Amino acid sequence: MNIVMMTNAFPPLVGGVAESVKRFVDVFRQHQHNVLVVAPTFKDCKEDEPGVVRIAAIQNFNGSDFSVALPPPPSLSQELTEFEPDIIHSHHPFLLGDTALRVAAARQLPAVFTYHTMYEDYTHYVPFGATRLRAFVKELCIRYANRCARVIAPSASVKKLLEQRGVTRPIDVVASGVDAQTFAAGDGQRARRKYGIDPESFVSGYVGRLAPEKNLSFLAEATAQFLKARPHGMLLVVGAGPSKTEMMQTFQHNGVASRVVFTGTLQGQALVDAYHALDAFVFCSKTETQGMVLVEAMAARKPVVALDGPGVRDVLIDQVNGRLINTKDPSDFAEVLLEFVDLPASQHARLAAGARTTSLEYTVERCADQALAAYRAARTEWEGVPEAPATDFDALLRAIREEWGLWRGRLGAAVKTLLDTDEGDRSSSETA
- Tens-place pLDDT, residues 354-375: 999 999 999 999 999 999 999 9
The reply to whether 2-177+364-427 and 180-361 are identical in fold is: yes
Q: Region 127-141: what's the mean pLDDT?
A: 71
Q: For 108, what's the count of Cα atoms within 13 Å in the CB-facing half-sphere?
A: 14
Better pLDDT: 406 or 52 = 52
3-class DSSP state of 52: strand
Burial (0-12, 13-18, 19+ Cβ within 10 Å), 331? exposed
CA distances for 303 relative to 39, 270, 276, angstroms: 35, 20, 11
Q: What confidence tens digit (pLDDT) does each residue in 285-306 have?
A: 988 888 899 999 999 999 999 9
Is 2's pLDDT higher than 80?
yes
Q: Which residues contact 159 (CB under 8 A, 6 or more apart)?
A: 153, 171, 173
What is the C-alpha separation between 345 and 309, in angstroms, rounded? 28
Q: What pLDDT is stored for residue 73 in this prediction? A: 83
Neighbours of 352 (CB within 10 A): 19
Q: What pLDDT is stored for residue 393 in this prediction? A: 46
What is the fold, at CATH topology level, of the domain defined by 180-361? Answer: Rossmann fold (3.40.50)
Query: Lowest-pLDDT range, 40-49, 73-82, 311-320?
Result: 40-49
3-class DSSP state of 267: coil
Q: What confidence tens digit (pLDDT) does each residue in 236-258 have?
A: 999 999 999 999 999 999 999 99
Domain boundaries, the chain: 2-177+364-427, 180-361
Burial (0-12, 13-18, 19+ Cβ within 10 Å), 91? buried
Question: Kind of pairing, strands 57-58 and 68-69?
Answer: antiparallel
Is 399's pLDDT higher than 60?
no
Q: What confidence tens digit (pLDDT) does each residue in 311-362 have?
A: 899 999 999 999 999 999 999 999 999 999 999 999 999 999 999 999 999 9
Burial (0-12, 13-18, 19+ Cβ within 10 Å), 344? exposed
Q: Which residues contact 387 (CB under 8 A, 6 or more apart)?
A: 108
Q: What pLDDT is stored for residue 250 in this prediction? A: 98
Is 59's pLDDT higher than 90?
no
CATH of 2-177+364-427, one of 3.20.20.10, 3.40.309.10, 3.40.50.300, 3.40.50.2000: 3.40.50.2000
Q: What percent of the chain has pLDDT over 70?
A: 83
Q: What pLDDT is stored for residue 282 in this prediction? A: 98
Q: What are phi and psi of 391, to 5 degrees?
A: -110, 160
Q: What pLDDT is stored for residue 349 in this prediction? A: 96
